[in-house]
Amino acid sequence: MTEDTISRHWMTIGTDHKNNNEATGKSRIKTGAKGIGRFALDRLGGHCEMITNTEKTKPIEWQVSWNQFDGADIRLTDVKATIEEIDSYEIKSYVSSLLAFIKTPNKFFDKHFTKNTGTVIKITSLRDSWSENAIEQLFQNLEQLIPPLEINSFGIYLYSSLYPNQFGIIEPEAFDDYDYKLSASVSLDHKAIIKITRNELDLNGLISRHFFENNQLVGPQYSLDTFKKGEFTINASLEELIPGFKDVDKNNLLDKIGPFEFSFYFLKRGGAQEKDEDERKYPYNPVNYAVRSQLLSRYGGIKIFRDNFRVRPYGEVKSTAFDWLDLGVRAARNPTITRPGYSVRPNQVYGIVNISKVTNIAFQDKSNREGLQENESFTFFKQILLAIINKFEIDRSTIMLTIDKLWKEQNKQEEAKEEATNDSKAYKKKKAARKAKKGSSSAQGTQGQDTEEQEELLEDADKVIERLELAIAALKEDNAVLREEQKLYRVLTSAGLTVSSFAHELKNLSGRTLPRSDYLREVLEELLKPNDVAHLPDFRNPFIMVSDIKSDDERVSQWLDFSLASLKRDKRTRTKIDLVTYVEKLQRTWAALLSQKQIKLTVKKTNFLNVYFKGFEIDLDTIFNNLIVNSVEAFVRPGVSDRREITLSFAFTPKGIGTYGISIIYEDSGPGLASEIKDAAQILQPFFTTKRDNQTGEIIGTGLGMWLIKSTIDDYSGKIQIGAERPGFKALIDLPA
């Protein structure tokens, strides 16, 4: 710094100099904007001396005694600092004299002090006792501040005259042992390049399990060549990463997101028992779980760096801001890798987000410098990061789910269960027969025969035990999957019961609310005539207001009737359902609600005259009601034509599932899938939704409707295919008759 810089900016409180001059002469972005950072020096010690030198000016020495503030009635203007030029100064020699106690080799100074420029701040009259534990804690805190290898731009060294051999350079942590690495770069024009590196599975193990021969995965990222390469790249726009948001982005949040870099590492943790069970199924690369656990416990979490400087407290271990992306909330919905919709746990990740205050101006500091303001732009930014992380989650879950299915087929778990049951029954019968035989025979001359039979029984018992162990392992896995599904269904059931409870209460009230508008109109007509208020605008005309109230009451009553009808007990009983009758009832149920929204429901039966479906009526409701609800919501989206029509086409044909089947084509004339959705089948995944808040971009839909449809169809060994044509929406469904 020059003398002018020190007096006009360093010594001026609250200056906006860094805001107006964001970059240094060497294009480094300046940090800090409050103009009070240098007062932290007072916290460390009572006296401060600074020597600074530029290439074009003489060295400057600045000194202040912060103890001047300790007097009574001292004002800020009463405290004076001294500043003066000094004739000669060599920064390398000066620093060398300060660090003489560590006997650092000359090459240290030759490497870091190549020019006689820079700034040295010396603080004395320290206010704290710097014990070994305190220095160790400082060292660990500085480890959290050092830029990681991806963005490393400066180094930190910590030395202590009391413990000269214990500290030194603070190395950025290198996460070389990882299962997955994701590197994302988002440009100014909102184009994202996402590179995913796989390191979890052994390629030879996948080949020996015939993964590439038997899997049904589509796309180059699942080919043998891609697995050999170890990485693949996804190119997508922010609009594609967050489908549906562009249509509701009223505040132009997309335009407020500038370029940024994101590095993300996944390191699975596992107990010994979990590891042993998993490694029989998944060809994991060798992992030292103890080392990983220590690494994640110390450095885990997703950190934010702005212009290469750490923004605390994001990703701070043991802080409330450790999981600032709410990964734990997502994982609570589905942490199971072998189920679609898998979400990663926060204690298994490490990440770095690097932004710049120049290109990300919407991210403002909090007044206390503890993080960034939780404004709409920052909330939307979090949704973008989650969408990027989801690319890794989808890839890992897809691969593991495929391996799981192949493993089950190759190990014939169901057969193991059945064989174990049969062997157990046979063993019991054999043992009972031997007991009966022994009771009816004499004890003489049977000792050798008894010994042979006992040995034979022991061999049979060993076989039974082996079979049972396999069966128990299979049952454990089945139960784990069922427990996860049960959690999800429990949530849905609780929500359904709550809605049902309120619906019943409201239905009781609707018996009184429906006629109230007629009573009110009668009272009004006794007091005045419609012509008396005809001159009033509609919103102040009491007769028109009463008519609107009646219309709203009727609409609420219709929705309640529809909701309660879907919960009838007889719908939860498996029966032989006449589909012709069911379809006619479906039309009647929706008629009133759809007519209010000017939506026409057309059913084309073709040769669909006498067809029966064996199952639960509530399952059919799940399929058709969710489809219709989605269409109703789609008709309010941008790009909808004046024609609002839903068409159901039914056919009873041998081309369906099994010998004979039911073929269904569901279509609507809405805008269709969001243009950002490239794979139409993606909408069948759990928790996938394009319904987002138009203020923050946060998901507001459950993302379960289409997944419930697919799950229901899967339960009947049916099929569903989503059409990709736009506009309009089309689903092809096959069900067994």
Written in H, E and C, the secondary structure of 115-183 is CCCEEEEEEEEECCCCCHHHHHHHHHHHHHHCCCHHHCCCCEECCCCCCCCCCCEECCCCCCCCCEEEE
- Sequence letter at residue 431: K
Q: What is the pTM of this model?
A: 0.64
Average pLDDT (36-51) is 82
Q: What is the pLDDT of residue 392?
A: 95
Q: Burial-class residue 580 by CB neighbours within 10 Å (0-12, 13-18, 19+).
A: middle
State the Cα–Cα distance between residues 406 and 215, nearest whole angstrom: 8
Q: What is the pLDDT of residues 668-700, one digit of tens each?
A: 998 888 878 878 888 888 778 877 776 666 777
State how far the alpha carbon of 262 is from the alpha carbons of 30, 355, 613, in Å: 21, 9, 51
Give the mean pLDDT of 113-127: 89
**648 contacts 602 by C-beta, under 8 angstroms:** yes
> Given this model, what pLDDT does residue 200 score?
95
Got the DSSP string for 527-563? H--GGGGTTS-GGG-HHHHHHHHHHHHHHHHHHHHHH
Q: Inform me whether the pLDDT recorded for 546 exceeds 60.
A: yes
Confidence of residue 320 (pLDDT cuts 50, 70, 90): confident
> Most distant CA pair in the chain: distance in Å?
120
625-636 as b/e, with b when 16 or more CB fall inside 10 Å? bbbbebbbebbe
Q: Hey, which residues does 63 pair with through a beta bridge?
A: 49, 82
**pLDDT of 256 higher than 80:** yes
* pLDDT confidence of residue 449: 56
Q: List the beta bridge partners of residue 311.
A: 304
Query: What is the DSSP code (8-state) at residue 31?
Result: -
- Compute the distance between CA of residue 363 and CA of residue 361 in angstroms, rounded to an integer: 5
Q: Average pLDDT for residues 514-543, to the nearest whole number?
A: 82
- Between helix 617-634 and helix 579-596 the angle, nearest 10°, is 30
Q: Specify the amino acid at residue 124.
A: T
Rounded Cα gap, residues 618 and 572, in angstroms: 6
pLDDT in tens, 559-600: 666 555 555 555 556 788 888 888 888 888 888 778 878 899
Residue 29 has pLDDT above 60, yes or no: no
What is the structure's pLDDT at 272?
47
- Burial (CB < 10 A; 0-12, 13-18, 19+), residue 710, is buried
Task: Report pLDDT for 234.
Answer: 94
- If you average pLDDT over residues 638-654, what whole number do you get? 79
Lowest mean pLDDT among 396-410, 421-435, 632-646: 421-435
pLDDT confidence of residue 121: 92
